Amino acid sequence: MTFQTTTSAVTEPTKPPRRSGFPLWGTIAIPAGLLWGTALGAGAGLYFGNIVIGAMIGAGLGVGIGFTVFAAAIVIASGKL
């Protein structure tokens, strides 16, 4: 009488690969806001007569909007934890 032993490999269940928690659009929000705000502000400044003032106001508004989008990305990322 012969006994055969068989071994089967038992593996631990694997977790799915971790996704990046922070969205790309949140990463580029502030620089994109700065660039677009400056460009649009300069265009408005050209229309109203002072490109420099328009670009500075546009850059300030663009950075402010960029920070708002960045804050939204933080909220989205914290929900994925």
> Within 10 A of 29 (CB to CB), how many other CB atoms are there?
22
Q: Domain ranges for the chain, please list them.
A: 24-79
Q: Which of 59, 55, 32 is nearest to 44 (CA)?
A: 55
Report the pLDDT value the prediction gives residue 38, as an integer from 0 to 100: 97
3-state secondary structure of 18: coil
Chain segment 4-62, per-residue pLDDT in tens: 666 666 777 777 766 667 899 999 999 999 999 999 999 999 999 999 999 999 999 99
Report the pLDDT value the prediction gives residue 41, as an integer from 0 to 100: 97
pTM for the whole thing?
A: 0.70
